[in-house]
Chain A
Amino acid sequence: MFLLAGLGVMIESIRLTIGTPTNPQPGFFPFLGGAILIGLSLVLTIRAWLGIGKRPEPFGEVRRPAALVAGTGVYVLILDPLGYVLATIPLGFLVLWILGVKSWQVLGSVSVGLSVVTYFLFAHLLGIELPPGLLKLLG
């Protein structure tokens, strides 16, 4: 991943013009960064291939984090049209459900409570603007 990122950065840096160390242009620092990224990731790959260094932590139950990422992705899409309070209820519900809360009463009351309390706390007490969405229609 780092190799590809580094390569992409270097190509884009050339387009930006690199210049020289004594006359650096906009692409100079990114080019240097890209080159460092490529160099270091090559060393890391070789070390991993030779079995040197600590092995990365094994993955556990990845479905739970994947579900949260997907849920938050959907949240990004529905936040503006639905508004903060209505969009946050299913998100809170999802997080609690992923973590093993199975009681419908707890899921419902905590997710509604979290959404309403955080809205009141941040929008009213701390003056942070949050999307009203459908609540705007209620005036």
Chain B
Amino acid sequence: MDFLGNLMMGFSVTLSPWNLFYAFTGAVIGTAIGVLPGLGTPTTIALLLPATYKMDPTSAIILLAGIFYGAMYGGSTTSILLNIPGEAASVVTCLDGYKMARQGRAGRALGISAMGSFIAGTLAVFGLSIIAPTLADFALKFGPAEYTSLVVLGLMMAVYLSEGSTLKGLLMAGLGLLLAMVGIDPVFGEPRFTFGISRLMDGINIVIVGMGVFGIAEVLINLESPEVRDIFKTSLKGLLPTLADWGRCWAAILRGSFLGFFIGVLPGGGAVISSFVAYALEKRVSKHPEDFGKGAIEAVAAPESANNAASTSSFIPLLTLGIPGNASIAMIFVALMIHGIQPGPLLLQEHPQLFWGVIASMYIGNLVLLGLNLPLVGFWVRLLRVPYHYLAAVIVIVCIIGAYSLNNAVFDIGAMLVFGVLGYFLRKGGFPMAPLALAIILGGKLELSFIQSLQVSGADLRIFVHKPISAALLFVAALLMLIPPAQWLWRLKSGNTRR
């Protein structure tokens, strides 16, 4: 079947009443959590996992994907109106969006942000529909050696591009790999680090880790210093950008879209980094860089376009290579696994309806989000008045239900609490959580494919460098790990070692 035929098949799946309902619901929940500071996307996806257990897998992924890209739309609202980013990917939008609101141009800032997000989201879905099948075909040629090197590169990218220090990211990846080793060894069948606890024989469930380090830890951090929300009263009239605004923004939206798309494809890349890079690029190419930070509309358009494009394109490594590139995608990976679906190159062949159905739902979801965000902006602002204590109570209770429902065991709630406390201390210490989650997911695969590679090569480690794809992947991974020490040495030479 050709591209258009596949896409039509996808639309026939998505346009069923239930899937439309889930695409709509995902978009609504996504916008809401994007608006609400203190509730992140991976947390929400982890919280909603138990609600998807009884659902059809395609519907479940349509719902969770909608939450993921919907959050990018909602995140800008709080950045513009409160100077508080609802999502990390909207941090940079505060710089000029809030200034625009202060100048009485909040409506136009929200309008260009929603329009830019829509254009970028739609372009990125189109890119995803074209690139994903080709990449999946290519990935079918991967043997265990290539897969080992791909996982190594994926982890290194997640470490390199994660927020904060690379060293701390690497440490989190190491810890994640060790946690992935808990349970029965996949090759020799020997129990490892189970301490005689039968519940640990199957390993540590990533859902429990996710709910702990994202859900519970987030509540613990917010409990420590509850935020005060000061909603800035401003005119929301004139939501549609003027012709002059379009004149200033169209190129910024396109640049943001393309940049976001390519950064999102990289494992470890994603919405946060793409928004910062798009802002920096826009400032560099702008004829009026002096306006940046003072309410430049293109400084809102570019990062908002980039974070939407990146959130969509980050599905590419998941759907084609089975590599989750960031924490939210890792939770969607878990949702697929819960439904017995292995993400990777065979997904397109074995579950074409899911693959194309999810892609088609993104076209529809972007339309829904445009309709939800522009006319209903007043409603989303009112949502900010929901006190955090209600939200915190709901998060804790839903995390508990989610953990318990995995095995109907209180042990899992206790384990989640342990990971919640661990996540709290690690996050306070500036340790990024994404490499930890990715390493837990990929650790078992890394070990298995490494051993399979040795079996194929007759115990010859050179297989990893003799195979060209594997060698290229390892070369890039090594390069990524050499950059931070090289930078540090460079700074040491120039006499500045603070960072």
A binding-site residues for B, Cβ under 8 Å: 2, 5, 9, 12, 16, 21-27, 29-30, 33-34, 36-37, 40-41, 43-44, 47, 50, 52-54, 56-57, 59-62, 64-65, 68-69, 72-73, 75-76, 79-80, 88, 91-92, 95-96, 98-101, 110-111, 114-115, 118, 122, 126-131
CA distance A128 to B187 in the complex (A): 34
Q: Decide if B380 is an interface residue (CB 8 Å cutoff).
A: no
> Do A68 and B220 touch across chains, with their CB atoms under 8 A apart?
yes
> Do B424 and A65 touch across chains, with their CB atoms under 8 A apart?
yes
CA distance A13 to B50 in the complex (A): 35
> Do A47 and B167 touch across chains, with their CB atoms under 8 A apart?
yes
> Do B225 and A60 touch across chains, with their CB atoms under 8 A apart?
yes
With beta carbons under 8 angstroms apart, the residue of A41, A43, A76 that contacts B414 is: A76
Q: Decide if B340 is an interface residue (CB 8 Å cutoff).
A: no
CA distance A31 to B167 in the complex (A): 19
A-B contact pairs, 30 of them (CB 8 A): A24-B451, A25-B188, A26-B187, A29-B177, A36-B170, A40-B174, A54-B164, A54-B499, A57-B428, A57-B430, A59-B428, A61-B224, A72-B216, A76-B413, A79-B410, A79-B413, A91-B396, A91-B397, A95-B219, A99-B223, A100-B389, A110-B393, A114-B394, A114-B397, A118-B397, A118-B398, A118-B401, A130-B404, A130-B405, A131-B404
Using Cβ atoms and an 8 Å threshold, which residues of chain B touch A75?
Answer: 400, 413
Tell me, rounded to whole Å, the shortest Cβ–Cβ distance linking B89 to chain A.
20
CA distance A73 to B416 in the complex (A): 11
> Do A54 and B165 touch across chains, with their CB atoms under 8 A apart?
yes
CA distance A95 to B394 in the complex (A): 10
User: Which positions 352-402 of chain B face chain A at CB distance < 8 Å?
Assistant: 388-390, 392-394, 396-398, 400-401
CA distance A122 to B499 in the complex (A): 48
CA distance A108 to B393 in the complex (A): 13
> Do B459 and A23 touch across chains, with their CB atoms under 8 A apart?
yes
Given contacts A9-B178, A43-B167, A65-B223, contact A73 B401 (CB under 8 A): no
Q: Decide if B421 is an interface residue (CB 8 Å cutoff).
A: yes
Residue in chain B with minimal CB distance to A71: B396
Quick one: CB contact mask for B150-172 with A, threshold 8 Å, 1 for yes? 00000000000000110110110
Using Cβ atoms and an 8 Å threshold, which residues of chain A touch B192?
Answer: 12, 16, 26-27, 30
Using Cβ atoms and an 8 Å threshold, which residues of chain B touch A91?
Answer: 396-397, 400
Residue in chain B with minimal CB distance to A29: B447
Q: How many residues of B contact A (CB 8 A)?
A: 63
Q: Decide if B281 is an interface residue (CB 8 Å cutoff).
A: no
Quick one: CB contact mask for B197-231 with A, threshold 8 Å, 1 for yes? 00000000000000000001001110111100000
Residue in chain A with minimal CB distance to B223: A64
> Do B220 and A69 touch across chains, with their CB atoms under 8 A apart?
yes
Other A-B pairs beyond A37-B178, A60-B225, A73-B417, 15, CB < 8 Å: A29-B450, A33-B181, A34-B178, A40-B170, A43-B167, A44-B168, A50-B497, A61-B225, A69-B420, A99-B226, A99-B388, A111-B393, A118-B397, A122-B50, A129-B405
CA distance A40 to B392 in the complex (A): 35
> Do A24 and B401 touch across chains, with their CB atoms under 8 A apart?
no
CA distance A114 to B395 in the complex (A): 11
Using Cβ atoms and an 8 Å threshold, which residues of chain B touch A76?
Answer: 410, 413-414, 417
> Do B226 and A54 touch across chains, with their CB atoms under 8 A apart?
no
Q: Decide if B175 is an interface residue (CB 8 Å cutoff).
A: yes
> Do B389 and A128 touch across chains, with their CB atoms under 8 A apart?
no
Q: Decide if B341 is an interface residue (CB 8 Å cutoff).
A: no
Using Cβ atoms and an 8 Å threshold, which residues of chain A touch B454?
Answer: 22-24
Q: Decide if B12 is an interface residue (CB 8 Å cutoff).
A: no
Q: Decide if B466 is an interface residue (CB 8 Å cutoff).
A: no
> Do B392 and A99 touch across chains, with their CB atoms under 8 A apart?
yes
Using Cβ atoms and an 8 Å threshold, which residues of chain B touch A110?
Answer: 390, 393
